[in-house]
A and B are shown apart, each in its own frame.
Chain A
Amino acid sequence: MQVRVRYFASLVDRTGCSAESVEVQSGLDVAGLWESLCGRHAALRDLPFRPLVACDMRYSDWDDKLDGVEEVAFLPPVSGG
């Protein structure tokens, strides 16, 4: 199945894109997806922070499965206000 991956703030600079479509196997979790994205974009490997993750716009955990998820966003620590 396909998931849409979105990046924000410095992660856009590191990947060179704000969104991409990724083919994922059934049963894969967020951590597994991240590992494969780090293979695609080497600059994701040495982040000075641990990204937050949101599945379909809700904060999620790294061991959450992606089955049924349409959009996964990786978020640097937020700095609004």
Chain B
Amino acid sequence: MISLQDEPIRVDELIEKVQGDGDGAVALFLGTVRDNNMDRRVLGLEYHAYPEMARSEMIRLVNDARERFEVSRIGLVHRTGRLEIGEVSVAIAVAAPHRDAAFQACRHVIDTLKETVPIWKKEFFEGGEVWVEGRKS
């Protein structure tokens, strides 16, 4: 299950979709909006995407992770639009027969997503707003 969406992420649904009877582990990663960055108080984030390409890069990285690791299914959902503090911006659920592969694949997916998927965040802080471009958060 891969989705780029404005709507809030339903984590319980994501877990249900990936988990199968042959799995002994589900690893879950949630990225959440935190209230500070680079010594600034953050009020919220706005995520913008190149939607068509973001979806195809998300599919590519999930397929790549399924080839590299012994996993059953991978779910990946990313939000777009305005998010408030504490909201989930990205969710990754990996079901696998054993936990090692689930953890490794989950880590691989979030690390690769941050490098390759064309999505950007705009940070709103007290007194202004700024595009975050590259690894500055």
Q: Which residues of A contact B (CB under 8 A)?
A: 6, 8-10, 13, 49, 52, 54, 57, 59, 73, 75-81
Number of A-B contacts (CB under 8 A): 75
B102 interface residue, CB < 8 Å from A?
A: no
Question: Which partner residue on chain A sits nearest B134 by CB separation?
Answer: A77
Q: Which residues of B contact A (CB under 8 A)?
A: 31, 47-50, 52-54, 56, 78, 89-90, 110, 113-122, 131-137
Residues of B within 8 A of A78 (CB): 114-120, 133-134
Neighbour of A54 across the interface among B110, B118, B122, CB < 8 A: B118
Chain A CB within 10 A, most for which of B54, B120, B122:
B120
Residues of B within 8 A of A10 (CB): 131, 133
Where chain A touches its partner, the secondary structure class is loop
Rounded to whole angstroms, the CA-CA distance of A63 and B68 in the bound complex is 31
